[in-house]
C-alpha cells in the first residue's frame, strides 16, 4: 500500500513527456491513494472479528488429537503457547520474563512464545490490535475483563486454580482472572533531600498542609511535582486521587448512578475534585508535564529537577535503578479532613486463558502448570520483590521489602485507610463506557492548558458520557 | 472536394488499424488482469466490507455486529471532537502543502545550481525521506523534549533558558512542531520530483529570457515556475494526500495531545476504532475521510492542470 502511495516512476520521466505523464499519473494515483488511506486507517480489521483461524494458527504446532491427555502427563510431548502482558513498567516486564525463563528451563517440553511488545500505545490498543490480526495471546494479562469476556475471547479460570488466591472478584458471577498482584495504593514519592532543604520536617496530615509544603518547595527553588502527562494513563494517578477523595470513597456506586443519570459531573463533589486538580497542576507541576513520559519521571526525580512524584510502588525499583543512592519516601496523600483514601480494592484483572487456547487440552494444561509455577512460593516471592507487588495468593509469601514498600503494606493493612478504585477499574453496573477514560483524561489536560472553567468542562463530560452510554447500548 | 479512391483506401486502412487496436486492447486487458485481481482482493473488497461496518455499532472484539443505520454518521456530524480533528487536519494539510512545496522547490533550485558537493547536498536533503514516520517521531521527541531535549538544552547553553518552550506539550507550539518536523522529513522527496522537472527545462529558454533582459527572479517567475507546473501538480496532490493521512508523527510525538490539540482525522479513526472500542464508528469516519480526500483531490487536480504549460 505504501508503494502505491509513492509511485516511483513519476520522477523517472524525462523531457517532453514529463508534463503529460505527470498529469495522468496524478489522476491515476488519486483513487488508489484515497482508497489506500481508508485501508491504512482501518487496516487489519476486515475479518469481521472472526480471528479464530489466525488464533489457532498461532499455536498450530501444539494441536493434538482430542482426548490425548494433558502435557504434564506426557512430558515428552512438546507443547507451546503464546503469552502477552503489559510491558509499560520495565521492572514488571523483567520480572515476568524471568518467570517465563525459569519455567521453560524447568519444563523443557513446554515452549512459551512471548509476543509482548513495547509500544507507544496503551496496553488495550495493543491487545486489540493483536486480536484484529488473529494473534490474541493464549495466556493474556487481562485488564479489561468484562469487555473481552463478553466478546467470548477469554474463558473462566479453571476451578482448581481458584484455591490459590485470597479474593477473586467475579464478572457476571464468573471468575476469569488469576491476579498478578493486588491493586496497590498510590501516593507521594518524595525526595528526602528536597523536603529537608525546603524545611518540611513533618509529612502533611491534611491536604492543606500538603499545599503549604508545595509552597515551601517552590520557594526553595525546586519544581514541586513531576508528572508524566504524555502517557495518558499517568494522568489517572492524580485525577483518581481527587475523584476517590471527593467521590468514590463515600460512594463506590457513583459510576452506576452516573450511567442512570442520578448524579452528574457538575455535582459539587466532582467540581471540587477537579478544581483541586486544576489548581495543583497550574501552580506546582513541572512546566514540561505534557511532553514528559511516565518512564522519564524517575530520572527527573533523581536528577533533583523535581521534588515529588505521585505514583505507585512499581516505581520504587525504577527509582532505585536510576540512582541507588537517591533517598526517597512514600506516603498516602490525605484529604482536607486528614482522611486517607487509596486505591486498594481487588478488581477483575490478571492472567486469563484465551478461548482458543482452552479448546486445546494440552495447551490448557501447559498454561495451568505455568500459572501454578508463577504463583509458587519461591518464584512469586522473586516476582513480588522485583515489582514491589502485594501478594494475591492465600499462601503467605515472604519477600524482601524496602522501607517504602513497608509503608505500602501498612496502608493496605490499616483499616482506617479507605480502599477504593480508579474511575475505570470498577466493573459490573459500575463499569464506565470503555472509551470514556482516555477522553476524560484528555479533557482534563485541556482544562489546565486552556485555563478552562471547571463547571463548563464538567458539562462536556456529562454530555460525552451520555453519548457514549447511548452509543454502547445500540 | 472528396477524392473517392483515396478515401476508400483510407477507410480500409483505418478499419484495419481499428481492428488491430481492438485486438491489442483485449490483450492489454489481460495484462492488467493479475494486478486488478490483487487490487480488488486487497483494496476494493476490504473497502467495501468496511463500508458495511460503518453502519454497525461493532466494538471490534465482539462477534455481535448490530446494524444501526446512519447513527454513526449522525454522530460524526454533531461530534465536537470530530470537528476539532477535521479543523486540525485541514490546518496541517494547508500548511504542509504550501511549506513542503516551497521548501522542496528551494532545495531543488539549490542542488540544481550548486557546482560543488552536488551529490552530498542531494543525499543530505533526501536522507530524512528514508526514515519511517515512527523513527522520525522519536528523533524529534529527543530534540524537542522539554526537560531532556537538545533544543532546550542548547537554549540553556546560550543563556536563553527563560525562553525554553515545551515544544510538544504547549498547545500553541505542538502543531507547529509537528508541521515543521514533517516538512523536514518529506521535502527531500518532493525535491527529487522538482529536480527532474528542472532538468527537463531546456537551457535555451532561460538564455532567451536573459537575452531579452529578464533578471534571475523574472527568469524563475516567468520561465522556470510555469514549466514546473506539471511537477507541482504531482507534488501538491501527493503532499495533500500525505498530509490528510498524517498519523505516525502524531502517534509518537504528541498522542493527539495536549488534550485534543493535535488530533487529526486518521488519528482519531485509529483511537476510536482500537482503544475506544468503537470500530463501527471509526470505520464510518474512515469512509467520510475517503470521500473528503476524493473530492479535494479531484478539485485540486482540475485546478492545477489548468496552470500546466505544455512544451
What is the predicted pLDDT for the residue at A120? Answer: 54
Neighbours of B26 (CB within 10 A): 9
Q: Is B145 on the interface with A (CB under 8 A)?
A: yes
Residue A112 or B8, more confident: A112
Q: Which of A22, A50, A130 is the mutation pick for testing B, counting most B CBs within 10 A?
A: A22
Test A29 with B237 for CB contact under 8 angstroms.
yes
Tell me how far apart the terminal alpha carbons of chain A are, to the nearest angstrom: 34
Of A52-56, A335-339, A422-426, B215-219, least confident by mean pLDDT is A52-56
Test A35 with B290 for CB contact under 8 angstroms.
yes
**pLDDT (mean) for B104-116:** 90
Length in residues, chain B = 311
Largest CA distance in chain A: 85
Q: What is the pLDDT of residues A258-288, one digit of tens each?
A: 999 999 999 999 999 999 999 999 999 999 9
What is the predicted pLDDT for the residue at A7? Answer: 31
Domain ranges of chain A: 52-182+347-400, 187-343+417-473
Give the predicted TM-score (pTM) of the model. Answer: 0.78
Residue B271 pLDDT grade (very low, low, confident, very high; cuts 50, 70, 90):
confident
**pLDDT (mean) for A226-233:** 92
Of chain B residues 230-259, which have a CB less than 8 A from chain A?
A: 230-231, 233-234, 237-238, 241-242, 244-245, 247, 251-252, 254-259
Residue A473 or B268, more confident: B268
Residue A222 has pLDDT above 90, yes or no: yes
Residue B65 pLDDT grade (very low, low, confident, very high; cuts 50, 70, 90):
confident
CA distance A117 to A251: 38
CA distance A195 to A306: 11
With cell 521527541, the residue in question is B141
Closest alpha carbon to A95 in A86, A82, A106: A86
CATH 3.40.190.10 is right for the domain spanning A52-182+347-400: yes
What is the predicted pLDDT for the residue at B253? Answer: 92
Which residues on B lie below 8 Å from A292 (Cβ)?
145-147, 169
Test B277 with A434 for CB contact under 8 angstroms.
yes
Test B62 with A439 for CB contact under 8 angstroms.
no
Test B62 with A49 for CB contact under 8 angstroms.
yes
Q: Is B162 on the interface with A (CB under 8 A)?
A: no
What is the predicted pLDDT for the residue at B7? Answer: 67
Residue B90 pLDDT grade (very low, low, confident, very high; cuts 50, 70, 90):
very high
Which residues on A lie below 8 Å from B156 (Cβ)?
none
Q: Are A244 and A420 in contact (CB under 8 A)?
A: yes
**pLDDT (mean) for B24-46:** 88
The gap from C-alpha B122 to its chain's centroid, in whole angstroms, comes to 21
Residue B276 pLDDT grade (very low, low, confident, very high; cuts 50, 70, 90):
confident
Which residues on A lie below 8 Å from B59 (Cβ)?
147, 151, 472
CA distance A437 to B222: 57
Q: What is the pLDDT of residues A301-316, one digit of tens each?
A: 999 999 999 999 989 9
Report the gap between the CA of B115 and the closest CA in chain A (Å): 22
**pLDDT (mean) for B281-303:** 89
A187-343+417-473: CATH topology: D-Maltodextrin-Binding Protein; domain 2 (3.40.190)
Q: What is the pLDDT of residues A323-362, one digit of tens each?
A: 999 999 999 999 999 999 999 998 899 999 999 999 999 9
Which residues on A lie below 8 Å from B281 (Cβ)?
471
- A304 cis-preceded (ω within 30 degrees of 0): no
Residue A53 has pLDDT above 80, yes or no: no
Q: Are A286 and B147 in contact (CB under 8 A)?
A: yes
What is the predicted pLDDT for the residue at A271? Answer: 97
CA distance B118 to B204: 23
Which residues on B lie below 8 Å from A130 (Cβ)?
none
- A5, A26, A49 ranked by CB distance to B61: nearest: A49
Residue A64 has pLDDT above 50, yes or no: no
Of A27-41, A67-81, A361-375, B119-133, least confident by mean pLDDT is A27-41
- B258 cis-preceded (ω within 30 degrees of 0): yes
Q: Count CB pairs under 8 A between chains A and B.
A: 256
Residue B195 has pLDDT above 50, yes or no: yes
CA distance A221 to B200: 63
Neighbours of A344 (CB within 10 A): 22
| Among chain A residues, CA nearest to B45 | A46
Q: Is B121 on the interface with A (CB under 8 A)?
A: no
- B257, B278, B293 ranked by CB distance to A442: nearest: B257
Test A18 with B301 for CB contact under 8 angstroms.
no
CA distance A297 to A300: 5
Residue A228 pLDDT grade (very low, low, confident, very high; cuts 50, 70, 90):
very high
Closest alpha carbon to B243 in B302, B189, B200: B189
- Bridge partner list, B79: none
CA distance A26 to A5: 11
A138 φ, ψ (degrees, to nearest 5): -65, -45
Neighbours of B39 (CB within 10 A): 15
Q: What is the pLDDT of residues A372-386, one digit of tens each?
A: 999 999 999 999 998
Test A40 with B282 for CB contact under 8 angstroms.
no
Report the gap between the CA of B12 and the closest CA in chain A (Å): 32
Q: What is the pLDDT of residues A1-24, one digit of tens each?
A: 333 333 323 322 333 333 333 334
Test A42 with B286 for CB contact under 8 angstroms.
yes
Residue B79 or B306, more confident: B79
Residue A262 or A167, more confident: A262
Q: How many helices (H) and strands (E) does chain B have?
A: 15, 0
Helix axes B118-130, B171-199, angle to 10 degrees: 130
Average pLDDT, chain B: 88
Residue A71 has pLDDT above 70, yes or no: no
- B60, B260, B289 ranked by CB distance to A37: nearest: B289
Residue B243 pLDDT grade (very low, low, confident, very high; cuts 50, 70, 90):
very high
Q: Which of helix, strand or coil describes residue A210?
A: helix
Q: Which of A8, A26, A124, A441 is the mutation pick for testing B, counting most B CBs within 10 A?
A: A26
CA distance A413 to A400: 17
**pLDDT (mean) for B99-122:** 90
**pLDDT (mean) for A441-462:** 96
CA distance A289 to A276: 17
- The helix, strand and coil proportions of chain B, stated in percent and rounded to the nearest 5, come to 75, 0, 20
Test A42 with B244 for CB contact under 8 angstroms.
no
Residue B259 has pLDDT above 80, yes or no: yes
3 state SS for A113-166: EECCCCCCCCHHHHHHHHHHCCCCCCEEEECCHHHHHHCCCEECCCHHHHCCEC
3 state SS for A341-402: EEECCCCCCEEEEEHHHHCCHHHHHHHHHHHHHHCCHHHHHHHHHHHCCECCECCCCCCCCC
Grid coordinates standing for A158? 479453571
CA distance A456 to A393: 46
Test B75 with A467 for CB contact under 8 angstroms.
yes
Fill in the DSSP letter of residue A60.
G
Q: Which of helix, strand or coil describes residue A435?
A: coil
What is the predicted pLDDT for the residue at A43? Answer: 35
Report the gap between the CA of A86 and the closest CA in chain B (Å): 15
Residue A40 has pLDDT above 70, yes or no: no
**Which range, A29-38, B128-137, B275-284, is most confident?**
B128-137
Which residues on B lie below 8 Å from A20 (Cβ)?
230, 310
CA distance A388 to B48: 50
CA distance B78 to A422: 30
Test B275 with A124 for CB contact under 8 angstroms.
yes
The gap from C-alpha B197 to its chain's centroid, in whole angstroms, comes to 19
Report the gap between the CA of B284 and the closest CA in chain A (Å): 10
Q: Which of helix, strand or coil describes residue A182?
A: strand
Q: Which of helix, strand or coil describes residue B117?
A: coil
CA distance A96 to B36: 48
CA distance A188 to A328: 10
Closest alpha carbon to A366 in A162, A7, A109, A171: A109
CA distance A93 to A118: 10
Largest CA distance in chain B: 92
Test B63 with A151 for CB contact under 8 angstroms.
yes
What is the predicted pLDDT for the residue at B22? Answer: 80
Residue B257 has pLDDT above 70, yes or no: yes
Test A449 with B197 for CB contact under 8 angstroms.
no
Test B282 with A37 for CB contact under 8 angstroms.
no
CA distance B105 to B193: 9
Q: Which of B61, B133, B281, B300 is the mutation pick for testing A, counting most A CBs within 10 A?
A: B61
Neighbours of A151 (CB within 10 A): 19
The sign of the CA dihedral B26, B28, B34, B37 is negative
Q: What domains lie within chain B, and their CATH numbers?
A: 78-307 (1.10.3720.10)
- B134, B200, B271 ranked by CB distance to A15: nearest: B200
Residue A65 has pLDDT above 70, yes or no: no
Residue B264 pLDDT grade (very low, low, confident, very high; cuts 50, 70, 90):
very high
Test B147 with A37 for CB contact under 8 angstroms.
no
Sheet containing A139-142, strands listed edge to edge, beginning at the edge strand earlier in sequence: A110-114, A79-84, A139-142, A350-354, A154-155
- The Cα-based distances of A245 to A157, A240, A422, A433, B176 in angstroms read 34, 8, 11, 22, 39
Evaluate whether A52-182+347-400 and A187-343+417-473 have a shared fold.
yes
CA distance B51 to B64: 17
Amino acid at each position: 500500500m505504501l508503494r502505491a502511495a509513492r509511485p516511483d516512476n513519476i520522477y523517472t520521466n524525462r523531457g517532453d513527456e514529463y508534463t503529460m505523464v505527470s498529469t495522468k499519473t496524478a489522476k491515476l494515483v488519486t483513487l488508489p491513494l484515497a482508497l489506500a488511506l481508508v485501508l491504512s486507517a482501518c487496516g487489519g480489521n476486515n475479518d469481521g472479528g472472526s480471528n479464530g483461524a489466525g488464533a489457532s494458527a498461532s499455536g498450530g504446532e501444539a494441536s493434538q488429537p482430542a482426548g490425548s491427555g494433558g502435557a504434564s502427563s506426557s512430558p515428552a510431548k512438546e507443547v507451546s503457547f503464546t503469552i502477552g502482558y503489559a510491558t509499560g513498567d520495565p521492572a514488571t516486564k523483567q520480572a515476568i520474563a524471568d518467570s517465563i525463563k525459569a519455567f521453560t528451563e524447568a519444563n523443557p517440553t513446554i515452549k512459551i512464545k512471548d509476543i509482548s511488545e513495547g509500544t507507544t500505545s496503551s496496553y488495550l490498543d495493543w491487545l486489540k490490535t493483536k486480536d484484529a490480526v488473529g494473534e490474541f495471546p493464549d495466556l493474556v494479562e487481562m485488564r479489561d475483563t468484562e469487555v473481552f469476556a463478553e466478546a467470548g475471547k477469554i474463558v473462566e479460570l479453571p476451578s482448581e486454580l481458584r484455591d490459590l488466591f485470597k479474593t477473586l472478584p467475579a464478572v457476571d458471577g464468573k471468575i476469569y482472572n488469576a491476579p498478578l498482584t493486588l491493586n496497590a495504593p498510590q501516593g507521594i514519592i518524595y525526595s528526602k533531600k528536597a523536603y529537608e532543604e525546603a524545611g518540611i520536617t513533618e509529612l502533611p496530615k491534611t491536604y492543606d498542609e500538603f499545599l503549604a509544603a508545595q509552597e515551601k518547595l517552590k520557594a526553595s527553588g525546586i519544581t514541586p511535582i513531576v508528572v508524566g502527562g504524555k502517557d495518558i494513563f499517568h494522568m489517572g494517578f492524580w485525577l483518581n486521587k481527587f475523584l476517590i477523595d471527593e467521590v468514590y470513597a463515600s460512594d463506590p456506586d457513583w459510576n452506576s448512578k452516573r450511567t442512570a443519570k442520578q448524579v452528574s459531573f457538575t455535582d459539587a463533589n466532582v467540581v471540587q475534585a477537579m478544581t483541586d486538580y486544576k489548581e495543583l497542576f497550574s501552580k506546582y507541576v513541572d512546566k514540561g508535564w505534557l511532553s514528559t513520559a511516565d518512564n522519564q519521571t524517575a530520572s527527573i526525580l533523581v536528577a533533583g529537577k523535581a521534588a515529588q512524584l505521585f505514583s505507585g510502588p512499581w516505581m520504587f525499583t525504577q527509582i532505585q535503578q536510576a540512582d541507588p543512592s537517591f533517598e526517597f519516601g512514600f506516603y498516602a496523600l490525605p484529604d482536607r479532613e486528614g482522611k486517607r483514601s487509596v486505591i486498594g480494592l481487588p478488581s477483575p484483572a490478571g492472567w486469563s486463558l484465551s478461548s482458543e487456547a482452552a479448546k486445546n487440552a494440552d495447551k490448557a494444561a501447559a498454561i495451568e502448570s505455568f500459572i501454578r509455577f508463577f504463583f509458587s512460593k519461591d518464584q512469586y516471592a522473586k516476582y513480588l520483590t522485583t515489582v514491589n507487588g502485594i501478594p494475591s495468593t492465600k499462601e503467605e509469601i515472604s519477600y524482601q521489602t524496602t522501607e517504602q514498600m513497608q509503608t505500602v503494606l501498612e496502608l493496605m493493612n490499616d483499616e482506617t485507610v479507605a480502599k477504593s478504585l480508579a474511575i475505570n477499574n470498577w466493573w459490573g453496573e459500575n463499569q464506565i463506557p470503555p472509551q470514556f477514560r482516555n477522553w476524560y483524561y484528555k479533557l482534563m489536560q485541556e482544562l489546565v492548558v486552556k485555563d478552562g472553567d471547571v463547571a463548563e468542562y464538567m458539562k462536556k463530560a456529562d454530555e460525552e458520557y451520555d453519548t457514549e452510554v447511548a452509543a454502547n447500548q445500540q | 472536394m472528396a477524392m473517392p479512391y483515396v478515401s476508400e483506401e483510407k477507410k480500409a486502412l483505418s478499419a484495419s488499424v481499428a481492428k488491430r487496436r481492438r485486438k491489442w486492447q483485449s490483450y492489454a486487458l489481460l495484462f492488467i488482469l493479475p494486478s486488478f485481481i490483487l487490487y480488488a482482493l486487497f483494496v476494493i473488497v476490504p473497502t467495501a466490507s468496511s463500508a458495511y461496518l460503518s453502519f454497525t455499532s461493532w466494538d471490534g472484539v465482539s462477534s455481535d455486529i448490530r446494524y444501526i443505520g446512519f447513527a454513526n454518521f449522525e454522530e460524526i456530524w454533531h461530534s465536537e471532537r470530530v470537528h476539532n480533528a477535521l479543523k486540525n487536519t485541514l490546518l496541517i494539510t494547508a500548511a504542509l502543502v504550501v511549506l513542503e512545496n516551497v521548501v522542496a522547490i528551494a532545495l531543488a533550485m539549490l542542488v540544481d545550481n550548486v557546482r560543488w558537493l552536488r551529490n552530498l547536498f542531494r543525499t543530505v536533503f533526501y536522507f530524512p525521506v528514508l526514515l519511517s514516520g515512527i523513527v522520525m517521531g522519536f528523533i524529534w521527541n529527543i530534540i524537542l523534549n522539554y526537560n531532556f531535549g537538545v533544543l532546550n538544552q542548547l537554549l540553556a547553553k546560550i543563556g536563553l533558558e527563560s525562553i525554553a518552550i515545551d515544544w510538544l506539550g504547549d498547545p500553541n507550539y505542538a502543531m507547529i512542531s509537528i508541521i515543521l518536523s514533517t516538512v523536514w522529513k518529506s521535502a527531500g522527496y518532493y525535491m527529487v520530483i522538482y529536480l527532474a522537472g528542472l532538468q527537463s527545462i531546456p537551457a535555451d529558454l532561460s538564455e532567451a529570457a536573459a537575452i531579452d533582459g529578464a533578471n534571475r527572479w523574472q527568469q524563475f517567475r516567468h520561465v522556470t515556475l510555469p514549466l514546473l507546473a506539471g511537477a507541482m501538480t504531482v507534488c501538491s496532490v501527493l503532499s495533500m494526500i500525505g498530509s490528510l493521512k498524517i498519523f505516525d508523527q502524531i502517534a509518537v510525538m504528541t498522542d493527539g495531545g495536549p488534550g485534543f490539540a493535535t488530533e487529526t482525522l486518521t488519528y482519531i479513526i485509529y483511537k476510536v476504532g482500537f482503544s475506544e472500542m468503537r470500530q463501527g464508528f471509526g470505520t464510518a469516519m474512515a469512509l467520510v475521510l475517503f470521500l473528503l480526500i476524493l473530492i479535494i483531490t479531484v478539485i485540486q487536480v482540475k485546478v492545477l492542470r489548468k496552470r500546466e504549460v505544455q512544451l
